[in-house]
Structure formats: C-alpha cells, structure tokens
Structure 1
Amino acid sequence: MTETVAFAVRGPFDLAASIRFLEGFTPAGRPDAGRHRGVLPLAFPAAPSWRPVGVRLRQEGGAVHAEIEAHPDDVAPAAEHARRILSLDVDGTGFAAIDDPHVVRLRERFPGLRPVLFHSPYEAACWSVIGHRIRMAQAAGIKQRMAERLGDVVGGMASFPGPERLLTVTDVPGLPPVKIERLHGIARAALDGDLDAGRLRAMEIAQALVELQRIPGIGLFSAELILIRGAGHPDVFPASERRLHDEMAHEYGLHDPSPARLAAIAEAWRPYRSWVALLLRARREIETAEIARGRRITR
C-alpha cells in the first residue's frame, strides 16, 4: 500500500541541503540524490519486520511529506525511520541558539542542514564492516551492488538486504570471508534487537558504545558511527574521529590539541554535539575532497 505522512519540522531544516549533502558525501552513496526535483527517494529494510519499504520525501513550508510504499504493518515504522534519517525526530529549535561564533559561521554556511543518517543502525554497522581498511568510494560501490544483487526494488530503488537475507549470503565480490562473517554477526544482532535505534539512544552514551563494541568487528570508531549516524543520537562528541579533530584544531586555531581539550570545547555545543560535528566534517570534505580523492577509512 501507499500512504502519505506529514512530519512537523521543529527548528531550521532544509531538505534541499540534505539532498546536497547526500550527493557529495561518499559514504551515503547517493550521487543521484539531486535528480528528482526536490524529492528524496529512499528504499530500505524497516525494523522490526525488516521488510523493504520505499519512501519519497518532499518539503512544503513547515512540513516534510513522506509518501510511503510498504506493507500496511510497516507504514508507521517506515515513517519513524524516515523522520530519524533526516534528524526530524529531534527538536532543532535550540540549535540556532548556540552562540559559539564558530558554530554561528557553520550554520550560516550550511543553512538548514541537519545530520542525514544511514537508514538504520543495522545499515550503519554493515557499512562500517564493508568499509574497514578499503577506500570509501570502493566500499560505497560494494554496498550498492549488494543492494542491487541481494535486496528488493521498491519505488524503483534497490533496498539493502535485511538481516535475515544477509544471513544466507556466503559470497560478496570484493569482501573477504572474515567480513562476511562479521556481517552475519551484525545481522544476528539486528534480529536480536541489539541495534534498535530507540534502545541505543535511551542508554547512557558510554554504555551504548560498550554494548555496540560487543558485536564482533565493531570497535570504538564504528560504535560511534552507529550511535551517531545510525541511531541518530544528536549529542555525541566522537572521541575517535581523527578528521573531525583535525578540523576542530584548524577551526579553533589550536596546535596539536588533546582529545580531552577538544571534548571540552564541544561542551558548548550541547545538546547538539553530533550536529556541529557533522557541519565541520561536511565543510572539511568540501574544502579538501579527501574522501572523494580516495583516502582510506582509518580507525
């Protein structure tokens, strides 16, 4: 069935900014995002059924409308996923009140941009395994081919395979057996509910990171990625994101600052530390094109 759901927007938000981010940020793997005249199409397996759903998003004034193609039981979960993917499940009114002048400049450069997430913590975890120690563009290609080969087509787009389907996979071109084994572990964690976004966001940040690192193949770097860009936690300062730390040092004019010093600076960004970090990373990629040029993911 197809149903349209409207999301209220609390605080600044621009869907066009989200689309531009998806076009230019390699891990998203969506160079086609801007070809749909202001509409953002998505296809993904939606928890808890993990059946594939299709969502077409458009913005009209103070609301975002989601046209959802899904099994009747999956319409509400698909809407919840879509709101989270665009960070619309967070009240953003306080973001404009952060008066750190560095953050003010970032907001002016990227008006209306909020974090655009992976479709789920499950897909974020799969990305972290696929992309470990290979170039991001290569990893994005492998993930897309997995969707095309193993997933379902919904609304003209290929959905990444759900965890039950992923457990049946024994060979993926470009991935060694150890990565397939780790993907199976992620699939089992997803089916057990260990990668539920609401569960992860309800935990204390430190506890959520510990829980995620119990999944084989998930270290601190990946755990932070899953919590921030999978579950959509709005207020995490990444302790292991070297590129972010380098960009902060550049922005604040610091020479070789410690992670503790950077974390102390980020206290002024509460409760939107994840959001500010995203703007810093987006600007760094625009100015350096380091991901587009093919540097590898490091941990």
Structure 2
Amino acid sequence: MDEIILETPEDFNFSECLVYLNRSELECLHRVVEGTLIKLIPCLGQYYLIQIIPMKDNQALKITLLTGVIRDYLQVEAIKNYVRTWFDLETSLTSFYELGKRDSIVRYVTERYRGLRIVKIMDLFEGFCWSVIGQQINLKFAYTLKKRLIETYGESITFQGERYYLFPTPERIACLRTDDLKDLQFSGRKAEYVTGIANLFCQGALDETQIKHMESYEMIKEKLLKVRGIGHWTADYIMLKCLDVKEAFPIADVGIHNAIKGIMNLEQKPTIAEIELLSKFWKGHEAYVTFYLWRYLYD
C-alpha cells in the first residue's frame, strides 16, 4: 500500500473534524472507523480509496491508499490537495481565534472546539443537491434521501466486504425523470430541482471555476439565487461548504439561533435583528462562526 504524509497547520484537530463527519449513521460517502477516516475520492481521472490517520499529535496526517497505486509526483500532490481542501487546511485561523478574545460567543466555541476546520463538500454538484435535499425536512430523513440517491445512481467499489460510493455525476442525474426520484421518496418539487440543477451543470451554466472567480460574496449569491430551488439559506450553505466564501452566513438557520440561545442562556431564540447586531463583529469570519455554532449543537 502507498502512504502519503501530509503536514498540517498548528490549529488543526482531526478528532474534532471527525465529530462532524460522524454525525449520522446513514452517511455513505465516507466511514469513520476507530478514529480513522475512509473515503473513495476521484483524482486525476482515477478513483482512490484512502484511509486517513492522524499522527505526530495532529501535526500530520497519514494518507494510506487502500486501492490504487501512486505512479508519479502529480498523483501525490493531487491527493494531498484534495485532503488539504477537504479540511480547509490552507486557511489561517489566527484572526478568527483573535476574534474570540473580543467576542463572548466566539470565545465560548473556540475554547471548546479549537482546531475544528470547516469540512468541505468537495463536489459542487453534491453541495447543491444536499442543500436542496435538506430543505424543510429533518436531518435523518435528509440523510435517508441522500443515501438512496447515492446507492441507486452513484459509482462504487467494494473493499474488504464494504461498499464505498461516489456522489452521482450531473450527467447521470440529468438523464432521470422526476418520477425516478419520486420513487426514492423525493417530493415532486425536489425531484424537479435536483434534475434541473444537474442539467445546468451539464450545460455549463453552473461552472465551479467561473463562480469562484467572481469578485464578491454578493455577486456569487446573486448567481446562486437565480438557480431554481436555491434560496438564501441554500446559497449561503453552498458558499460556506463548497466555495470557500468566508462571509457566508445563513442567518435564518434554526441551528444558529438555537446555538446562540444556548450559549447566551436566553429564554427564547434571538431575533434576526439581534443576530445581525451580534454578527457585525464577525465580519470576514461568518462562515467559521457558523460552523462552530453548528458544532455546539452536536453536544
């Protein structure tokens, strides 16, 4: 088996990231096993099943290829870059943690979850689909729908008796009728949204590189909001999880409201106006504040 060592920044806690990744037993795109992480990833036109293990007191990750063979330097760098991006390792958290010294809410979560990184969704199409699937249903049923979609239409391999999946491609989903997704218990509207988004990807109307090169949060959000099925919450979620937009802030998110209520010991959830006032101090760090507030809810 080939092994790759990836050095990690000082403020990185792999175990904290695993808490997020292990939040549902229905997750089928990766597997957390005794403090290690196994995932099938696409890389330079090939698929690799990788296992990630922390080492050197979180100063490095050991990436073991369970399937596939490394043949050149480009493959090594591509796999390293995949993992770096997945765990947002190139972002400095220094200014975010400095903010915690001045803001009581940020201080509360950063003291408890220091080293947590935003765990990205590496496939933009998957990010769009997941944000649509999760609308107006509970998290368990959202995972159920995602699992059905992946196991029905995603590519997979089998290793040591376990099956590992990739998220379905836009090309695969664009070929479906809405009734195909309704058979998986998607609502008619969500089936239309998902197949419609798949078609936009196939047509090149949603191009990740083009979107990432837009100049501002406002421009990206305007682009996303034009997509049928994408509202303000889903647009901010996609920017936070897929597009590395640090200002992304789904302010209407119920989880954010509940986390602030709990941290501040409030009798009722804060209003949008109250959250807007609090978040004035979070400028440029909204995405990380959001992710850390979500982490609070897992406790």
TM-score (norm 1): 0.78
Q: What pairs with 1:256-295 in structure 2 (closer than 5 Å)? A: 257-286=270-299
Distance 1:132 1:109, change over 3 A: same
Q: What is the aligned partner in structure 2 of residue 289 from structure 1?
A: none
Q: By how many angstroms is 1:247 displaced? A: 2.6
Q: Distance in 1 between matches of 2:138 and 2:152?
A: 21
Indicate the residue corresponding to 1:199 in structure 2: 211
SS of 1:34's equivalent in the other structure is strand
Equivalent residues in 2 for 1:127-146 (5 A)? 127-146=130-149
Amino acid at match of 1:241: D
* Rounded Cα–Cα distance in structure 1 between residues aligned with 2:189 and 2:32: 36
Check if 1:24 corresponds to 2:37.
Answer: no
**1-structure distance, mates of 2:272, 2:4:** 42
Distance of aligned partners of 1:272 and 1:198 in 2 relative to their CA distance in 1, 3 Å threshold: farther
Unmatched tracts of structure 2, length 5 or more: none
> Per-residue deviation at 1:198?
7.8
Q: CA deviation at 1:195?
A: 5.0
Deviations 1:128-183 (A, max 9, x none): 22223333211211211222221122464111111112222331311244323321
Q: Deviations over 1:72-129 (max 9, x none)?
A: 8877555444322212131223333221233222122223212223233321210122
TM-score normalized by the length of structure 2: 0.78
1:295 match: none
Over 3 Å counting, the alpha-carbon distance change for 1:265 and 1:226 in structure 2 is same
Q: Which amino acid aligns with 2:53?
A: R
* 1:30–1:161 distance in 2 versus 1, CA, 3 Å: closer
Largest Rg, 1 or 2? 2
Per the TM alignment, residue 44 of structure 1 is displaced from its structure 2 partner at its CA by: 4.9
Q: Give the residue type in structure 2 aligned to 1:103.
A: V
Alpha-carbon deviation of 1:34?
Answer: 3.5
Does the Cα contact within 8 Å between 2:17 and 2:119 map onto a contact in 1?
yes
Q: How does 1:57-72 map to 2 (within 5 A)?
A: 57-61=52-56, 62-67=59-64
- Pick from 158, 167, 189 the counterpart of residue 165 of structure 2: 158
Q: CA shift at 1:256, angstroms?
A: 6.2
Question: Does the residue aligned with 2:126 lie in a helix, a strand or coil?
Answer: helix
Moved more, 178-187 or 196-205: 196-205
Following TM superposition, by how much is the alpha carbon of 1:221 offset from its aligned partner in structure 2, in angstroms? Answer: 1.0
Q: 1:81 to 1:57 in 2, by over 3 A?
A: same
**TM-fit CA distance, 1:25:** 5.4
Q: Which range is displaced more, 252-261 or 160-169?
A: 252-261
Partner Cα distance (1:252, 1:20) in 2: 23
Cα pair 1:86 1:116 within 8 Å, conserved: yes
Distance in 2 between residues matched to 1:132 and 1:112, nearest whole Å: 29
Kept in 1, the 8 Å contact 2:246–2:287? The answer is yes
Q: 1:29 to 1:103 in 2, by over 3 A?
A: same
Equivalent residue runs for 1:176-215 within 5 Å:
176-191=187-202, 192=204, 194-196=206-208, 199-200=211-212, 203-215=215-227
Structure 2 match to 1:41: 38
Could you tell me which residue of structure 2 aligns to residue 297 of structure 1? Answer: none
Contact preservation (8 Å) 1:120, 1:197: no
Higher relative contact order (CA 8 A, sep 6+): 1
Preserved contact between residue 10 and residue 92 of structure 1 (Cα < 8 Å):
no
Taking a change above 3 Å as real, the CA distance of residues 246 and 122 of structure 1, as seen in their structure-2 partners, is same
Q: Relative to structure 1, is the Cα distance of residues 189 and 31 closer, same or farther in structure 2, using a 3 angstrom cutoff?
A: closer
1:283 is displaced (CA, Å) by 1.4
Gaps of 5+ in 1: 287-299
Distance 2:6 2:251 in 1: 32
Range 57-66 or range 215-224, more displaced: 57-66
Q: Return closer, same or farther for 1:190/1:7 CA change in 2, 3 Å cut-off.
A: farther
Q: Following the alignment from structure 1 to structure 2, what is the Cα–Cα distance between the partners of residues 210 and 244?
A: 23
In 1, the alpha carbon distance for the partners of 2:75 and 2:194 equals 24
State how many pairs are aligned. 281
In the alignment, the residues of structure 1 paired with residue 210 and residue 17 of structure 2 have an alpha-carbon distance, to the nearest angstrom, of 23
